[in-house]
Amino acid sequence: ALNRIESYFGLVALLSLLLGGGGVAPIVGGWVAGRTRHVAILKSLGFRPREILALHLGHVGLLAFAGSVTGGILGLLLIAAAPRFLPDLLPADQIELWQPAALLRGVALGLASAMLFALPPLTAVWRVPAARVLRAEAEPLPAPWQVRLVTGVVLLAGILATAWAQAERLDWALAFTGGLLVLVGLLTLGARFAMRLGGWLPRRRVHPYLMQGLAALGRPGAGTTGAVMALGLGMLLVTTIVLGWKKTEEGLTSALPPDAPTLAMLNIRPDGWEPVRKLLEEEGGTAIRSAPIAFGRVREVDGKPVEEMAKARKQRGRSRWALTREQWLTWAEKLPASNSIVEGELWCDPARGEVSVEQRFARQLEVELGSTLVLEAGGKRHTLEVTSIRAIDWMTLELNFYVVVEPGVIDDAAVFWVAGACLPVEREQAVQDRLNREHPGVTVFRLRPILGRVVEMMAGLALAERVLGGFTVLVGLAILAGAVSAAGIRRAREVALLKTLGATRRGVVVLLATEYGLAGLVAGSIGGFGAVILAWVYAEQVFGMDSAIEWAALPLSGLTAALLAALCGVAASGRALTARPVESLRAN
């Protein structure tokens, strides 16, 4: 579970990084657009397009390197400060402050992300004709299709490679990249729809502010697609995190049945179980369950010695734990309710000794129905046939085992008994104290505090998720602000023209808020849709819950993104709002 969380955090961080890289693209595009005359001069002097591309890419690389190093150092400082805020989850004595490998990894990923996303807008250097030096109205040249194709392939391959480096699993990296492409496609379609909606609506039936906001989304150079994409990815991440944690809490609380054991006992002597059972009944214990335990090992699988199988797996880099671990064996006439037979039948062959194996453990052992296992228990070897494969619901906390042997085969090899019981919370401590006094050899665990500690740890991890998600939304808003600021001169002229036509500053603010709010509404709605689907898949696949899709999160996500985008867009347009009407009359 911790490995999955680590991979998940890596992909969340990567999504934030890619979102920042996506913000590099419009900024670089605006930068190149403002340097067309400079590019034309370089071409007139004999520079080739690829040389100009390398020159500008070097500028981006230097800035990205500086930003990545700064962010890496800040990340290490945050790790150093984390134990003060989460002392239980991150003890100070277990935190390694100086982590050069992590710093280098972060810098490398940040630099790669910026360079990858800077490539597409930098291909605009092919479109600048050398004649632009003499004629500002010279028509742009078409960029070679080979350049566009190679740029797209490099960008996609780079995202896949960074995802693979973060998750360390190719299947996760492929799923991440594929899902990202689907979401980017949906966000792009949503942005294009919003940009064209203003031309489809009847102007007389739509409020002027709404019509103006829709029209502004489709104006040349508005950067609507980039802004929608950035905000949509941010809202997807945050909404997924919030809904995912909600599903996690539901999975931890609702998955446990009312009679789940609250007290677990080990090391009960075979002749001491009856006294322990009577004590539990006297104290009001319910759902009392017990099982005998015998230690054993798998010696052969279908005639193959496990030593040879383990050696072969080691050479191939595969897991060997199922072959080399000491097995906790038990036997029972009937299986607990948390077990279900998925293949075969329990104790169906009176002529042979039988064994039932849990399905995931069976895959690890590479056994199936009809396979033969040689188990060693109590100094004796027993040849048993696999006659059933079981699925186990481990969340019930019942007494469950990977391997269950037919009764009568290894009964004389019992070492001790284990047991579980459900007790009232106010009696747990008293029962534990009584067991320690009357049966000092019995090891007792109270499960409620342990589960409570698990929930606390999950809450701490959820806090870390929320911090990452909030950071991603801030990145999206920063990208929106950057796009607005990059178009500050053109926006100032638009504001001045609106004032010349009679609009007040308040009216201009409403128009800008409507424009950015509409972009946020589209982004938040699409991002929220992706989030509710991801949260549903998370609940179904991780916890096996019959979970409902949280459609109520859609309007909340959309309205939140709209509000944030409107506030951020207006704030970033502060300089443009001060433009005077006379500026609309001045020559460019």
Pick 440 or 143 by higher pLDDT.
Answer: 440
Instruction: With a cut of 50, say whether residue 221 has pLDDT above it.
Output: yes
Nearest to 443 by CA among 261, 262, 264, 284: 264
Concatenating the DSSP letter of every residue in 352-390 gives S-EEEEEHHHHHHHT--TT-EEEEEETTEEEEEEEEEEE
- Encode 522-552: b = buried (16+ Cβ within 10 Å), e = exposed: bbbbbbbbbbbebbbebbeeebebebeebee
Those residues whose C-beta lies under 8 Å from the C-beta of residue 115, and which sit 6 or more positions away, are 57, 60, 61, 64
Tens digits of per-residue pLDDT, 149-173? 888 888 888 888 887 877 677 877 7
Tens digits of per-residue pLDDT, 303-350? 888 888 888 887 776 777 778 888 888 888 888 888 889 999 998 888
Output the CA–CA distances (angstroms, integers) from residue 153 to 116, 119, 179, 184, 492, in the order listed.
10, 11, 17, 16, 38
- Band (pLDDT 50/70/90 cuts) for residue 386 is very high
H-helix or E-strand spanning residue 340: strand 339-344
User: What is residue 396's predicted lDDT score, i.e. its pLDDT?
Assistant: 72
User: What is residue 387's predicted lDDT score, i.e. its pLDDT?
Assistant: 92
According to DSSP, residue 272 is labeled G
DSSP 3-state of 550 = coil
Instruction: With a cut of 50, say whether residue 119 has pLDDT above it.
Output: yes
pTM of the model: 0.58
Instruction: With a cut of 60, say whether residue 138 has pLDDT above it.
Output: no
Q: Lowest-pLDDT range, 212-216, 290-294, 542-546?
A: 542-546
Those residues whose C-beta lies under 8 Å from the C-beta of residue 248, and which sit 6 or more positions away, are 458, 462, 543
Instruction: With a cut of 60, say whether residue 2 has pLDDT above it.
Output: no
Instruction: With a cut of 70, say whether residue 528 has pLDDT above it.
Output: yes
Of the chain, the end-to-end C-alpha distance in Å amounts to: 61
The highest-confidence range among 15-24, 92-101, 378-387, by mean pLDDT, is 378-387
Instruction: With a cut of 70, say whether residue 482 has pLDDT above it.
Output: no
Those residues whose C-beta lies under 8 Å from the C-beta of residue 321, and which sit 6 or more positions away, are 364
User: What is residue 218's predicted lDDT score, i.e. its pLDDT?
Assistant: 66
Tell me the average pLDDT across 21-26. Answer: 73
pLDDT > 90: percent of the chain: 5
DSSP 3-state of 90 = coil
Instruction: With a cut of 50, say whether residue 587 has pLDDT above it.
Output: no
Instruction: With a cut of 90, say whether residue 430 has pLDDT above it.
Output: no
Instruction: With a cut of 90, say whether residue 388 has pLDDT above it.
Output: yes
Give 218's Cβ-side CA count (13 Å radius): 14
Nearest to 348 by CA among 386, 381, 301: 386
Structure tokens at 229: 């994409």
Structure tokens at 259: 């009679």
User: What is residue 253's predicted lDDT score, i.e. its pLDDT?
Assistant: 59
Instruction: With a cut of 50, say whether residue 285 has pLDDT above it.
Output: yes
Tell me the average pLDDT across 242-252. Answer: 66
User: What is residue 148's predicted lDDT score, i.e. its pLDDT?
Assistant: 78
Instruction: With a cut of 90, say whether residue 65 has pLDDT above it.
Output: yes
Tens digits of per-residue pLDDT, 348-378? 888 888 999 999 899 888 889 989 999 888 8
Instruction: With a cut of 60, say whether residue 1 has pLDDT above it.
Output: no
- Encode 437-455: b = buried (16+ Cβ within 10 Å), e = exposed: eebeebebebbeeebeeee
Do the Cβ atoms of 465 and 556 come closer than 8 Å?
no
- Band (pLDDT 50/70/90 cuts) for residue 588 is very low
User: What is residue 464's predicted lDDT score, i.e. its pLDDT?
Assistant: 67
